[in-house]
Amino acid sequence: MRVASFEYLEPQTIQEACSLLTEHQGKAKIIAGGTDLLVMMKHRVLAPQYLVNLKGVSELDFIEYDEADGLRIGPLTTLNVLAEHQAVRERFNALGQAAASVASPNVRNLATIGGNVCLDAKCWYYNQSSLFRKGRVACFKRGGDRCYVIKGGKFCYALVAADTVAALIALGAEARIVSAAGERQVPVVEFFTGQGDTLNVLGPEEILAEIHVPTPAPRTFSAFLKESFKGSIEFGLTNVAAAVTFETGDGVCRDARIALTAVSCGTVNAQKAVAILKGKQIDAELAAEAAGVAVSEASPISSIWTSVYHRRNVIAALVKRTTLQTVAEASR
């Protein structure tokens, strides 16, 4: 299917890009890698009148690491560059694993971290072609009054499916958002609204300008796992990331974060599961107990691809495995 007509705009600076978004507010979409947006435009899920291409804004394309300041990532950084970066592999393992789990190598050479974080929600109804949707009443995300994911749902339950988001939350990342009016800092865990139709806090005139990941505390180890039917080439049924800080010597958990995506219309910051681990030496039994609590915190929903029962089992397995992977790393 052909895309609808649009005007193509190529700013050279952040300020110019913000001005264009303000000028065409509500009618423009940002494009960088375009691996998701172009598909949605071909299906007429989206039909923006203007495309603002950020590829010419060189100040958004960087990845820098400093021990004191941490990792700073420009939104135009491709997922392959992120996954292969030495500091990411050595200090931010979960993020490297998450970036490497997205789609295929060809896609990761185009897809950007900014695009992945800002990925639109996924839904078996919303992400179909216009012909498929034509004979059905519009959902909340398309201005209607129903949700096809949760029958009788009072708002949109489209999934947060982005792979890298769970890792960024587990690592305590923060997003810098800019507009013509100024800028603001938002923790990635607060970047998402929990409702699929207004997926994140990014306004139509705003740009994700940078992701900052603080340097992990000493003896912090992280891991990411993804479950999907076709491996990395499709969106996950469940994405789980864990970052655990261990006491020196005895391997007791001093602090931790466990985060999940692709299980509901919001992200999951499994704080109750973390409370199970803190102050204790993690073994398989304790990791399984924390995983069970994480399942309850996640409140997973069903989809056309999987049932709630299956997703609960996957969450329990992945939370346990990621937690034990950090233990294995700490013991080396």
List the structure tokens of 51. Answer: 């495309």
pLDDT > 70: percent of the chain: 98
pLDDT for the residue numbered 233: 63
Q: Is 332 helix (H, G, I), strand (E, B) or coil?
A: coil
Instruction: State the average pLDDT for the chain.
Output: 94
pLDDT for the residue numbered 231: 63
- Asked whether residue 43 carries a pLDDT value surpassing 90, the answer given is no
Domain match, 226 and 309 both? yes
Identify the weakest region by mean pLDDT among 66-70, 173-177, 247-251, 277-281. 247-251
- Asked whether residue 88 carries a pLDDT value surpassing 80, the answer given is yes
Domain hosting 6: range is 1-59
Domain count, the chain: 3
Domain match, 8 and 80 both? no
Domain match, 107 and 9 both? no
Let me know if residue 126 belongs to a domain. Answer: no
Of 41, 59, 77, the position where a domain reaches its end is 59
Domain match, 76 and 183 both? yes
Q: Specify the pairing of strand 70-73 against strand 50-53.
A: unpaired
Let me know if residue 199 belongs to a domain. Answer: yes
What value does the mean pLDDT take over residues 2-13? 95
pLDDT > 90: percent of the chain: 83
Q: Specify the pairing of strand 238-246 against strand 220-227.
A: antiparallel
Distance CA(201)–CA(199), nearest Å, equals 7
CATH number at residue 247: 3.30.390.50
Domain match, 237 and 315 both? yes
pLDDT for the residue numbered 129: 84
- Asked whether residue 105 carries a pLDDT value surpassing 60, the answer given is yes
Domain match, 113 and 29 both? no
Distance CA(157)–CA(195), nearest Å, equals 6
User: pTM of the entire structure?
Assistant: 0.96
Let me know if residue 153 belongs to a domain. Answer: no
Domain match, 290 and 177 both? no
DSSP 111-153: -BHHHHHTPPPB-TTTTS-HHHHHTS---GGGT-S--SSSTT-
Let me know if residue 140 belongs to a domain. Answer: no
Let me know if residue 108 belongs to a domain. Answer: yes
Domain match, 257 and 291 both? yes
Distance CA(223)–CA(244), nearest Å, equals 9
pLDDT for the residue numbered 330: 93
Domain match, 22 and 104 both? no
Of 178, 213, 248, the position where a domain reaches its end is 213
- Asked whether residue 37 carries a pLDDT value surpassing 70, the answer given is yes
Backbone dihedral angles phi then psi of residue 178, each to the nearest 5 degrees: -125, 155
Tens of pLDDT along 133-161?
A: 888 899 999 999 999 888 888 999 999 99
What value does the mean pLDDT take over residues 260-267? 94
Residue at token pair 């990331």: 241
Distance CA(165)–CA(292), nearest Å, equals 22
Q: Is 184 helix (H, G, I), strand (E, B) or coil?
A: strand
Let me know if residue 149 belongs to a domain. Answer: no
List the structure tokens of 238. Answer: 């469940």
Distance CA(32)–CA(42), nearest Å, equals 16
pLDDT for the residue numbered 232: 57
Let me know if residue 268 belongs to a domain. Answer: yes
Distance CA(305)–CA(87), nearest Å, equals 36
Tens of pLDDT along 226-244?
A: 998 776 567 888 999 999 9
Let me know if residue 67 belongs to a domain. Answer: yes
CATH number at residue 33: 3.30.43.10
Domain match, 108 and 235 both? no
Q: Name the band, by pLDDT with cuts 50, 70 and 90, for residue 218.
A: very high
Domain match, 44 and 112 both? no
**Which residues share a beta bridge with 208?**
177
Domain match, 24 and 82 both? no
List the structure tokens of 234. Answer: 């499709």
Q: Is 262 helix (H, G, I), strand (E, B) or coil?
A: coil
pLDDT for the residue numbered 119: 95
Residue at token pair 């499916």: 161
